[in-house]
Structure 1
Amino acid sequence: MATTTANSSMLGTSGATFAPLTVPKRLLLGPGPSNSHPSVLNALSQQPVGHLDPFYIQLMAEVQGLLRDVWQTSNRLTLPMSGTGSAAMEATIANVVEPGDTFLVAIKGYFGNRLADMASRYKANVQTIDKKWGEAFSLQELEEAIIKYKPAFLALVHAETSTGVCQPMEGIGDLCRKHNCLLILDTVTSLGSIPLYLDDWKVDLAYSCSQKGLSCPPGLGPFTMNERAEEKLNKRTGKVPNWYLDVSLLNKYWGSDRVYHHTAPVNMNFGIREALRLILEEGLEATWTRHKLNALELWNGLEDLGLSLHVPSDIRLPTLTTVSIPSNVDGKAFSLHLLNNHGVEIGGGLGELAGKVWRIGLMGYNSNKTNVDKILNLFDSELPKFKS
């Protein structure tokens, strides 16, 4: 929050005076955003260039290539949407869904509900199947639903940020090919942090964000679609009903033509290029292993303190851990205490889990032993003060 001073030279319309911005120091160990790597912040701080500058056009191609590598895909249409992860989510739906298309969402948390809501706004015939928040779908459950509803799309959240569940993906892509539906995958809390193999998994459309596993500030939404999805886009009977997110237009800018579409957030693309470069410099396998090892240390430490984890270990996300709040603890008061007195942010529960869990994130740059030790020490020293 900006500080105020009576001697400031800037006078607001309300009569208040404002000092230069001073941002409090925070360690972001919640559901996102995560802290940004210093070299990402340095890239963001460079002077902008024009969005048709030859330097920037080359950088655009580099960002696309880096995204393909981190997502493990060869998809031609891979680009960062100008907007946060929710913009990329909406782009995924807006470009391929037409009125009346059956859109099946396998909901196991808050963001599955968001997918269903968005699809309904594009006049899809939305059908849903539900799982308890903290569980994952079996292949049999998904196939039964596909046979029942005969959807054009199956939408899944790979890493459900609201619950801490990682959906097993083995066989789902083959299932969708067998029944001729497109597979949409939300990778918002998995890209850059846990194993992702879009092509091997036969994922047709996927999206993510810049501020979690990539450790770049919020503002870009990575998006990708394969040839099957491109065919659906090209066979539309009308225009994509969202001009800003229309990939058929954006492709003219991000493809070989480089035709202006909208003023690109050039500095955000400076930042995401550096973020992706850092991941590949470390190595994908090494990055995934680092997240897993730090998560295991966190899980063991929390259980040693007598706390229960909401999700079974075999489907637990290394990036986002849901911790059951003890019945004798005011969970919100504890979270505020950590933020206000120690500068550490953890999240509370959403939807069905509101007031029931804390959400601890170890994503990207923030997934390290120092942060694990810090949060465990705080739970050890501070939580007893909040037990009634």
Structure 2
Amino acid sequence: MKFKEINPSPRTLMTPGPVEADPRVLRAMGAHILGQFDPEFTALMNETMEMERYVFQTQNKMTYLVDTTSRGGLETVLTGAICPGDKVLIPAFGRFGYLLAEILERCGADITLLEREWGTVFEPEEIEEALKKDSYKAVAFIHGETSTSMMQPLKEIGEICEKYGALLIVDAVATLGGAEVHVDDWKLSACISGTQKCISAPSGSALITYNEQIGEIVKKRKKVEKGIRTADDVNGSLAGIPSNYLDLAQLEDYWSPRRLNHHTEATSMQYAVHEALRCIVDETLEARWARHSLNDKALCAGLNAMGLSIFGDIEHKMPVVTAINIPEGVDGKVIRGTLLNEFGIEIATSFGPLDGKILRIGNMGYSSQKRNILILLGALEAVMLQNHVKIATGEGVAAAMEVYKNAEK
């Protein structure tokens, strides 16, 4: 048998994830493998935790990685913090709110869904009204809903949850590293992200952080597996965490000075995340947020000048994802396919009630570059013209360039 060497076609990834990994990250992944308890490697783990705290804007001691995708990170935190029978409020304003419900229903939580039209976000008063009506252990929220391009303001909601004694667990998979996230200032009990979006590393690690309140819950659910437990390991008083691999209690010990031999760390992914976070620290969060914001303004200016309409509540649109309404009579899959096949640019369609109605453009991490924005606008214009869409020829790129020119003044 003979197989071809892996040699992927060059692509410009302008999707809501995955996006292009920073070349520095890819280089780091080629470094020599170290043993997981080699002092040199555990020092890298400690540095990763320190840089994560900066990116999450938190002082939480329990801030580390899980060797899984971002969805696995969500499941790790949710199934560790929420016990069977706990009541959880989930305000859903797109596909991924329903994912939180799916995960929690499977671990026996008592779910209440609060639903909003896709393309909008919740007002703080809606959350407070729900918390007045019933007592909830937690509220689980999406920060950046990539299925709709909406971003939920959270500062007031954090204060409301604190007022009513509810944990606030947040999915920041799409936003961390590209839009402002302030875990401590927003009073978030836990926050979860991934590596394949604004962090600009390959998919395969989840970044998590949680406060002492959740830490106490985890301690009460702790049960170290028999093969590695010691006489000092006593089972907690609450129901154990259902997953062994995604067990927050044992993962804590793995990342702590104890270095519990729970699993074998994905060494090359640890290198990747360490380097990706180092790149963020080097750029600074403020500069990174400003870069994403500027590229978003240029993209939106170009789309508007071209005559394409942007979907949803513009005031609450993410700076890292833009959704456009597909012109009437046009097949969105044809637009997406032509961009990919003729220009090597990948964007995304959508899900559920928005399937076939919008196209989604990512502006994330390493892919968030001036050249990518300008090339995408030019290619999109050509493809729209090929599909007989009436647009203002030549205006899109010119409008975006004007935004960049004004930013230099």
Q: CA deviation at 1:176?
A: 0.8
- Provide the residue aligned with 1:3 in structure 2: none
State the AA in 1 paired with 2:276.
A
Give yes or no for the alignment of 1:275 onto 2:260.
no
1:218 is the counterpart of 2:219: no
- 3-state SS of the aligned residue for 2:90? strand
Q: Which amino acid aligns with 2:261?
A: Y
Between the aligned partners of 1:181 and 1:322, the Cα distance in structure 2 is 33
In the TM superposition, what is the alpha-carbon distance from 1:224 to its structure 2 partner?
Answer: 0.9
Conservation of the 8 A alpha-carbon contact between 2:28 and 2:272: yes
Answer whether contact 1:186 1:208 (CA < 8 A) is retained: yes
**Equivalent residue for 1:147?**
132
1:342 offset after TM fit, Å? 1.1
Aligned position for 1:230: 215
Partner of 1:371: 372
CA contact (8 A) 1:79 1:254 kept: yes
Q: Is the 8 A contact 1:102 1:149 kept in 2?
A: no
Structure 1 distance, partners of 2:217, 2:258, is 22
Which stretch shifts more, 42-51 or 201-210? 42-51
> In 1, distance between residues paired with 2:214 and 2:322?
33
1:311 maps to a residue whose letter is: G
1:1-388 matches, cutoff 5 A: 11=1, 17-236=2-221, 237-387=238-388
1:164 Cα shift? Answer: 0.4
Change in 2 beyond 3 A, CA 1:70/1:32: same
- After superposing on structure 2, the runs of 4+ consecutive aligned residues of structure 1 that deviate more than 6 Å are none
Structure 1 residues 3-32: Cα deviation after superposition (integer angstroms, max 9, x where no partner): xxxxxxxx1xxxxx3121111111110110
Indicate the SS of the match to 2:380: helix
Cα distance in structure 1, aligned partners of 2:270 and 2:104: 28
- 1:260-286 CA distance string (max 9 Å, x none): 110110100101111111111111101
Shift, 1:295, TM fit: 0.1
Kept in 1, the 8 Å contact 2:24–2:275? The answer is yes
Deviations for 1:265-315, whole angstroms, at most 9, x for unmatched residues?
Answer: 010010111111111111110100000010010001001111111122210
Which residue is 2:397 aligned to? none
- Given that 2:178 and 2:364 are in contact with CA atoms closer than 8 Å, whether structure 1 keeps it comes out as yes
CA distance in 2, matches of 1:79, 1:387: 50
TM-score of the two chains, using structure 1 as the length reference: 0.94
Cα displacement (A) at 1:331? 0.5
Give unmatched runs, 5+ long, in structure 1.
1-10, 12-16
The sequence identity of aligned pairs, in percent, is 37
Where 2:155 maps in the other structure, the secondary structure is coil
Q: How far 1:232 sits from its partner (Å)?
A: 2.3
Q: State the secondary structure of the residue aligned to 1:253.
A: helix
Following superposition, the deviation at residue 368 of structure 1 comes to 1.2
> Residue type of the partner of 2:329?
N
Report the equivalent of 2:228: none
Is the contact made by 1:322 and 1:359 (CA closer than 8 Å) also made in structure 2? yes
Task: Give how far 1:142 is off.
Answer: 0.6
- Tell me the CA shift for residue 52 of structure 1: 1.0
Counterpart CA distance in 2 for 1:139 and 1:19 is: 54
Give secondary structure in 2 for the equivalent of 1:208: strand
* Number of residues of Structure 1 aligned to a counterpart in Structure 2: 373
C-alpha deviation, 1:379, in angstroms: 1.4
| Amino acid in structure 2 at the alignment position of 1:329 | V
Shift of 1:234: 2.6
Q: Secondary structure at the match of 2:203?
A: coil
Deviation at 1:48, TM superposition (A): 1.3
Q: Counterparts of 1:264 and 1:385 in 2: how far apart (Å)?
A: 49
Q: 1:5 maps to what in 2? A: none
Judge conservation of contact 2:155–2:187 (CA < 8 Å) in 1. Answer: no
Structure 1 residue 253: Cα displacement? 1.2
Alpha-carbon distance, 1:320 to partner: 0.7
Q: Deviations over 1:31-88 (max 9, x none)?
A: 1011011110000111211111111100000101110000100111111110010000
CA distance in structure 2 between the partners assigned to 1:170 and 1:181 by the alignment: 14
1:185 match: secondary structure: strand
Q: Which residue of 1 aligns with 2:226?
A: none
